[in-house]
Structure 1
Amino acid sequence: MLRTVRRQFAVPMPAWFRARARRRAARFSPISARSPLSPGSLPWLLAFVTKRHGCHVDLHRVLRDAPVAPDGAGLCESLLRSGLGMEEVSIDVSRGTLLRGTLIAFLRTHGLPEPGVDPNARLLVPAVIVGLEEGRVTYLVAGSDQPVHASQADAKDLFEETALAVHPVGPRDHDELPSPAAGDTRFGFGWFAREILRHRAIWRDVLVASAVLQVIGLTMPLVAQIIIDKVVVHHTLSTLAVVGTAAVLFLAFGGVLSWVRQYLVLHTGNRIDAVLGHRIVAHMLHLPPRYFEQRPVGTVVARLQGVDVIREFVCSAAITAVLDSPFLLVFIVLMFTYSWELALIALGCVAMVAMLSLLATPALRARVDRQFLAGARTQSFLTEHVSGIATVKALQMEAGLERRYGDILSRYLDASFRTRTLVNTYHVATSTVEQFMQLAILLTGAMLVMRNDGFTIGMLVAFQMFAGRVTQPLLRLAGLWQEFQQASVAVTRIGDLMNAPAEPCSFAATRSRGEGPCGIAFEHVSFRYGDRRSPVLHDFSCEVPGGELVVVSGPSGSGKSTLARLLLGFEHPGSGRIRLGERDTAWLSANELREHFGVVSQETTLFSGSIADNLLAAAPHASMDDVVTACRLAEIHACIEALPDGYSTRLGEQGAGLSGGQRQRIAIARALLRRPRVLIFDEATSHLDVETASAIARTVNALRGRATILFITHSAPPGLRPDRVVRLGTHDGQDRGTTKPGTRGMSGSGPRTENSKEERVS
C-alpha cells in the first residue's frame, strides 16, 4: 500500500522554486537532487501528468525554464511550476490499495547520464504506476505508452522503495502563479522565524542537547563544592578519585555533545542561508528593469552582500545563546538557595548590562546604518568607474578619480571607525561590569563565610560558578547585540529589494503563442518618465503589419527606444493600448509577452564564457544544428568557424576579443535562436562604421519575412530596404508618426524613400 510520510510537497512561490525543489528532492531516498533523469523523460512525464489531472499549463514555457539536463530537483521544480503538489510515499504491493493522484516511481536501473552530467551519478528512470492491485502492478515507463505488467515478487526488486505521489494543488485554471514577492507579510526577521520553524525536528534535538549540557554544567559547581568542603577537609582520596573520574566523564561527554549541537546549528544555518540566498537572487532577477535603473549597481550589489552579514549572525552562537537562556532560571533559583544577597548582586549586574544594551542600541543602529550607506557608495563608485575604465583612460580622469575615491573612502572609514569605537566602548563597559560583579561576589561571599552561618568556602566557589553560568550566556547575548544590529540593518536593506513588486509570471495555457510574424499596433499611446516630466509619447498611434521590415526614426528624445521598452513590457503606457497580433499586451505576463521578441540592442552584452554559451543563453534547449542555422542567417558562422576553437572560443567580459560588428552578429544569431515573432533592432548600428553597418543592413534585409522587424535608428544604414518608415517627432505637443510605404533603398544620411508618399499616423 501507500504509506504517506509527513513531509509534503506544497507549491512554493516561483522565486525560489529551484532551492526548495532541491531541498525537497534531497529529503527522500533514493531520489537525489543531482541524479539525472533518463533522456526525454521529463517532457513525457509533464504531458502525461498535467493531462491526467486537467492542469491548464503551457508546457512550452515550463520546459523552456527547465534545466537542459533535468535531474531530481528539475523534476520537482517543473511539477511545481505546473501547479502540482507532491508527497513522499513508500510502495508496498503486498496489499492492494487505491492510488491517490499519480504515482511516479523509479526503476532500479543504472544507465549512462546525458552529456555534461556527472558520469558517476545514478540515472533516474521514472515510471508512472497506473494500477496497483493485489499481487500485480501495472506501469508505464517514461517515454512509452505501452503498459507493462509485473508480479508482486518482481515489483519488489523492480522499483525503488520511495516514489512521488503527485496531485493538483489549488485551482486548476489558475491564470498565473504567485509572484516572488507575493504574500501577506513583508520581508524581515519574521521570515527567518518561519524558516527556522521548518526545521522543528532539528531544533528539538538541539534543545535536548542544550538541556543535557546544562545538567552537566549544573554538576560541575556541585563537584567543586564536594571536593572543597568534603574531600579536602577530610582527606578522603577514594572519594576524590570517584568524583574526579565522574567529572572527567561528564566533561568528555559534554564536549562531544557540544560539538554535535554546534554542528547541527551550523548545518541548519547553512540550509537556511541557501534558501535565503537563492530566494533573494531569484526575486532580484524577477524585478522590473525600472528597479535597477533607479539604483546604482554598487548599491544593489551591497544589498546582496548583506546576506553574508545575516549568515554570520544566524550561523553564529546566537541560536545556542538563545536556546541556553531558558535554563538560566534553574541556575538563578539555585543561586537564591545558596545566598539571596549574592544572587541579588549577580542579577543587579545583569540588569546593568541590559541597561547598557538598551542605551547603546539607537546610536549603534544609526552608526551601522551610516556605515552600510558609505560602503554602498564606495562599492557603487568602484563598479561604475571600473566598468568604464576605457573612458577613464581616454579622458585622463585618473587623478580626479583618485581624489574623489580618497574622499569617499575616508567617509567610509570614518563611519566604520565610529561604529567600531562604539562597539569597543560597549564591550569594555559590559566586561567591566562583569569584573565588578565577580569582585563584589567574592568580597560579600568572604564576609558570609567568616560569619559562620553555614555558608562554606565550597559554597562560595560553587556560587561563583553558578553566577558564571548565568552571566556568560547573557554577556554572549550582549556581545551578539552588535551583530544583531548589523544583521537588522542588512535585513532592512535587503527588504527594499525583497518587498519590491516582481513582474508577473504565468505558466497557464490561457492563450496560444502563435507562429510566424505578428502585427503590432499602438493605439493612442501616451507615456512619460515620471509625473513631473513632459510626455515622451502623446496620443501616438501606428500599425505595423506582420512580416514587414519597418524603420522607426526620429531625433534624440523623440521616443524611439521608448517604443521598444513599451513593447517588451519594461514600461507601461500611461494611456492607450498596445496590441501584439490580436492581444492586448496589458493582459500578458512578462514571460508570456517577451517570448515573442528577439532584441539586438545598441550596447550588445556578451558574457564571459564561450561563444556557444552566449548563443545558448537565450535558448538553452536549442541544438547545435539550430545554433549553426541561426549563425548562418546572421552571417557569422564562417567567422566563428575560422577561429581556432570555433564555437568553443572563450570570450572575455563584454565579448572582449571580438569586433563590434562580430558582437552585433552574434547578438542577431542569439535573438534568432528564440524563434521570435518580432525582431527589434534598437540603435544596433549606431556604433558601427558605415561599411559594417551596411553589411548588417544586408543581413537584416535577408531576414525579412521571418519575423516582423522594427529597426529603430536615428540614421538608417546604407543598403537597408524597409517596407515602410515611421518618423517620430513632436508637432503642437502631439506625437504623430509619419509613415512612408513602398521604399526601395535608404541613404546613409537618414531615412529617405523613392517615389513614396507620406501619410500621418493618428
Structure 2
Amino acid sequence: MAAADPAVALALDDVVWVLGSFCALNQKPFDPPLLVGQYAPPYTTESLIRMARALGFRIQGTHCDSENLGTLTLPCIALLKTPQETPAEAAADATPNSAPDETVPTQGATESAGADSASPEPAGASARPALLIQVTDTAVTLFEAGTNVPVTWPLAQFAARTNGRVFQLARAATLLKDPDDALARTRPFGFWWFIPELLRHKRVWREVLGASLVIQLLALAIPLFTQVIIDRVITHHAESTLIVIGVGMGMFLLFSAVLSWVRQYLVLHTGNRVDAVLGAAVFEHILKLPLGYFAHRPTGVITTRLHGVETIREFVAGAAVTLILDLPFLVIFVAIMLYYSVVLTLIALVLIGLVVGISLVIAPIFRQRLNEQYLLGARNQAFATEYIAGVETVKSLQMEPTVNARYRDYWAQFLRSGFEARQIANTYNVVANGLEQALSLVILIYGAYYVMNGTSFTVGMLVAFQMFAARLSQPMLRLVGLWQQFQEARLAVARLGDVMNAPPEPYTVVPSRQRSRAGAIAMEGVSFRYGDDRPFLYENFDVRIAPGQVVAVTGPSGCGKSTLTKLLQGFYHPTAGTIRIDGTDIRHLAANDLRQDLGVVPQETILFAGTLYDNLLLARPQATFDEIVQAAKMAEIHAVIEQLPEGYQTEIGERGVGLSGGQKQRLAIARALLKKPKILIFDEATSNLDQETAEHFAQTINQLKGQVTMLFIAHGLPKTLHVDVVVTLGSKADAVPPEDAAEGSATPHLVRATV
C-alpha cells in the first residue's frame, strides 16, 4: 500500500478469512485465536499488512484499474466497497462460477476469531476483502470474504464494486539454515539500527540533497556579487547595475531562506515518521522481555531509557543529516579560497583545526559528565516513580519528611552534575567562538596588508574571502557542536542497548504443534530456586492435574504458592524437571501460545487508568459487550457497576484508585473469566471478599467444573467450593482428596517437595 493511502477499516472475521485462505493455499498452518491475540482492534488495512507479514508473507499494496488488472499476481486480495444493497440483491447480481469443483480452502475461515463468538465489525467499516482468483478480458472471478462459492462479475460490475486497491501476497523466501549460526547472530543495538528505517525514505533524502545543493550554490553567489559591487560598481558609480545586483541578491536570499525552511521541514517530518515506527518497536520489545528483566531494574530507569529513541533520532535524522549533506560543499569553498589566497586559506584551516582539536580533547570529559548526569537522573526518576506509586503508604507511616529529604539530596546531586556538564560545554563554546572571531580578525589584518601592498588582491576580494571563510567555519563549528550531540546520542545508544540487546520471550502467530487445549497439567520432578545463592522452593515436585479438575493449593507464607503460578505461566523456568500442559513441555511453547489458555487472577490486583469497560476489555479486545457483562456477573461485580452513575464507562485512577480492594479483586476475576481460558488460576482471589460474596462466587465457579481446570491458591477456601484435590506446600507437599485433607488421614503421598 502506498504511504499516502489512508488505512481502511475492515471486519476482523473478513481479515481472518482471507489470511486463512492464503495459508491454506500455501500449505501453512493457521491458528486464528493465536493470530488475533497479538493484534488489538480496530482492524484496518494496516492490520492486514502486519498480520500477513507475521504469517510469513510478502505483501504489497497497489491500485488497480482496467489497464493493469491483467498484470496482477493471482490470487490476490481486492477491497470491495461496503455493499449498500441487501444480500439477496447482491446474490442476484452475481453469477455463480460454472466450475463446481473450484473452491478455495479456508483454514479457520469459518472459525470465530474469538473463543466462542464472532467479534463485532468495526464501526464505519468501509471495505470488505475478497479473494481475486481469475481475470479475463471480460470478467473476474473471486470469493467474497466468508463464502466458499466463487462468483464471476463482469469487469464493469467489478470496477463499480471495488475501491481500486488490491494486495498481492507471496510466500516469503525461506533462508537456508546456517550450521554454525554465524548468520543468525544479530548485531548488538547501535546507530545502524536506525539506518534501514531512514533508507525507506530515499525519495525525501534525494529532495533534501537537491535543496542542499541549491542552497550551497546560492551561498557561492552572494560573496561573488559582493565582490563585484565593491570592485566594479562602486568604482564606476554604476547605480543601475547596483540596483539590478541588489534585487538579484535579495531574490537569492529569499529563495535560499524558503529552500532552507523546506529542507528542515522534510528532515523534521521524516524524523517524526522514523520516531513513530522505531519508538513503537522499542516499546513492543520491552513488553516482550521476560519478567526477570524487570525484576532487576527499577521502573523509572527503564522509562528513562525509552527517551533515548528521540535523542538518537534527533542526532541521526536531524543535525547529522543536514551537516553531512553540507560537508561535501566545503571542498568547493576551500578550492575557491585557495584560488583567492593560499596563505589566508592555510591560516583559516589552522584556526579551524584548533577548534576541532579542542573538541577532541574535551569530548571524553564531557561524555563522563553526561554519563554521571544520566545515572543520577535515572535514579531520581526511579525514586519518584516508586514513592509516588506508594504514596498511600508514605502518608500512612508519615514518611514525607524522610522521603522529601532524600529526594532533595538526590536532586541536588543531579543539579550539581548537570551544572558541571554545562560548564564544560560553556567553556568549550566560548573558546570555539573566540577562535572564530580570531579567524575573522587575522583574515582582515593579513588581507588588508595584501591590499595595501599593491598586489592583485582587492578590497572586494578581501570581503568575499571573509564571507567564504565564514561559510567554511560555520559547518566546522556545527560539526563540533554535533560532536557534543554525538556524545549524548552515544550514551543513549549504550543505555537503550541494555533494553534492545536483552533477548525477548518467544512469540509467534504460526502454530508449531498440535494442541489439545484440554487443560491437563503435569509437573514432573520440578525443582526451583530464584538464584544459585538462594534456597530451593521445590525439589522433585510431582503433581498431575486432570482436565476440568478443581485443585486447591495451600501452605504457609513463603512456601512458593505464588511462584507456582509464575512457573505455570512461563515467567520462570524450573531449575530442574519439566512442566507439561496437555502433554507439551511449556519450554517448547511460545509465550503467547502458552498464556492464551491461561486466565490468572494475581495476588496483587493491578488495574489501569481508564474506564471499567476498558480495563475488562484488555483481557480480550475482541469481546462483545454482552460477553463483558456475563463475565462481570460471574465475578459478582456487575450489580456494583450498574449502581455507578456511568456504569461500565466509570473512570478509575491509576492502579484502580477509587475502588475498594474487593471491587478491584472482582474486576480482576471478571477479566480472567473473559478470556474463556482452559486453565484458571486464582492466587488469593477471594482474600478481599466478604464471606457471603466469596461463597456466592464459589457456587458460580462450581458451574465451570469439568469444563475448565482451576487452581485455587489460598490460605482459606470458600466452604461451598467443590475441590477435587488439595495440594499442601510446606516441608512436605501432599496432594490428597479434600475430605482426607480435612480429616488429616495418612493417604499415600501423590506429591512430594522439599522447601
1:72 paired residue number = 45
The answer to whether the 8 Å contact 2:552/2:725 transfers is yes
The answer to whether the 8 Å contact 2:366/2:421 transfers is yes
2:99 paired residue number = none
The answer to whether the 8 Å contact 1:740/1:756 transfers is no
2:585 paired residue number = 584
Q: Does 1:134 align with 2:137?
A: yes
The answer to whether the 8 Å contact 1:94/1:135 transfers is no
Residue 739 of structure 2 aligns to a residue whose secondary structure is: coil
1:23-62 residue pairs with structure 2 within 5 A? 25=1, 27=3, 29=5, 32-33=6-7, 35-38=8-11, 40-62=13-35
Paired residue total:
714
2:571 paired residue number = 570
1:310 maps to amino acid: I
Q: Give the distance between the partners of 1:329 and 1:697, measured in 2 at CA.
A: 81
Q: Give the distance between the partners of 1:411 and 1:693, measured in 2 at CA.
A: 51
The answer to whether the 8 Å contact 2:120/2:624 transfers is no
1:380 paired residue number = 382
1:682 paired residue number = 683
1:18 paired residue number = none
2:525 maps to amino acid: H
Aligned-residue RMSD, C-alpha: 2.6
1:239 paired residue number = 241
2:297 maps to amino acid: R
The answer to whether the 8 Å contact 2:516/2:582 transfers is no
1:389-408 residue pairs with structure 2 within 5 A? 389-408=391-410
The answer to whether the 8 Å contact 1:104/1:165 transfers is yes
- Residue range with higher mean Cα deviation, 286-295 or 534-543: 534-543
Alpha-carbon displacement from aligned partner over 1:201-227 (angstroms, at most 9, x marks no partner): 211111111111110000000000000
Residue 317 of structure 1 aligns to a residue whose secondary structure is: helix
2:302 maps to amino acid: V
The answer to whether the 8 Å contact 2:517/2:597 transfers is no
The answer to whether the 8 Å contact 1:95/1:135 transfers is no
Give, in angstroms, the shift of residue 692 of structure 1: 5.6
- Residue range with higher mean Cα deviation, 518-527 or 331-340: 518-527
- Structure 1 pair 421/157, CA: closer, same or farther in 2 (3 Å)? same
Alpha-carbon displacement from aligned partner over 1:345-371 (angstroms, at most 9, x marks no partner): 110111111101111111111111111
Residue 522 of structure 2 aligns to a residue whose secondary structure is: strand
Q: Does 1:103 align with 2:76?
A: yes
Q: Give the distance between the partners of 2:120 and 2:580, measured in 1 at CA.
A: 42
Q: Does 1:739 align with 2:735?
A: yes
Residue 335 of structure 2 aligns to a residue whose secondary structure is: helix
The answer to whether the 8 Å contact 2:543/2:750 transfers is no
1:43-442 residue pairs with structure 2 within 5 A? 43-94=16-67, 97=70, 99-108=72-81, 123-171=126-174, 184-314=186-316, 316-442=318-444
Alpha-carbon displacement from aligned partner over 1:107-128 (angstroms, at most 9, x marks no partner): 356879x989675xx7123222
The answer to whether the 8 Å contact 2:679/2:708 transfers is yes
2:91 paired residue number = none
Q: Give the distance between the partners of 1:38 and 1:700, measured in 2 at CA.
A: 33
- Structure 1 pair 377/690, CA: closer, same or farther in 2 (3 Å)? farther
- TM-score normalised per structure 1: 0.89
Residue 55 of structure 1 aligns to a residue whose secondary structure is: coil
2:749 maps to amino acid: E
Give, in angstroms, the shift of residue 324 of structure 1: 0.3
Give, in angstroms, the shift of residue 720 of structure 1: 4.4
Q: Give the distance between the partners of 2:466 and 2:357, measured in 1 at CA.
A: 23
Alpha-carbon displacement from aligned partner over 1:623-670 (angstroms, at most 9, x marks no partner): 122222222222222222222222222222222232222221221111
- Residue range with higher mean Cα deviation, 409-418 or 688-697: 688-697
Residue 307 of structure 2 aligns to a residue whose secondary structure is: helix
Q: Give the distance between the partners of 1:345 and 1:635, measured in 2 at CA.
A: 84
Residue 327 of structure 2 aligns to a residue whose secondary structure is: helix
1:641 paired residue number = 642
The answer to whether the 8 Å contact 2:662/2:688 transfers is no
The answer to whether the 8 Å contact 1:231/1:237 transfers is yes
The answer to whether the 8 Å contact 2:271/2:314 transfers is no
Q: Give the distance between the partners of 2:739 and 2:702, measured in 1 at CA.
A: 12
The answer to whether the 8 Å contact 1:270/1:315 transfers is no
Unaligned runs of 5+ residues in structure 2 are 86-118
Give, in angstroms, the shift of residue 154 of structure 1: 4.6
Alpha-carbon displacement from aligned partner over 1:578-630 (angstroms, at most 9, x marks no partner): 11121111211101111111101111111122222111111111112222222
1:559 paired residue number = 560
1:713 paired residue number = 714
Q: Does 1:604 align with 2:616?
A: no
The answer to whether the 8 Å contact 1:560/1:728 transfers is yes
1:11 paired residue number = none
1:79 maps to amino acid: A
The answer to whether the 8 Å contact 2:515/2:582 transfers is no
Q: Give the distance between the partners of 2:549 and 2:342, measured in 1 at CA.
A: 92
2:467 paired residue number = 465
- Structure 1 pair 173/307, CA: closer, same or farther in 2 (3 Å)? closer
1:20 paired residue number = none
- TM-score normalised per structure 2: 0.89
2:684 maps to amino acid: E
Q: Give the distance between the partners of 1:467 and 1:248, measured in 2 at CA.
A: 21
Give, in angstroms, the shift of residue 739 of structure 1: 1.7
The answer to whether the 8 Å contact 2:636/2:693 transfers is no
The answer to whether the 8 Å contact 2:20/2:30 transfers is no
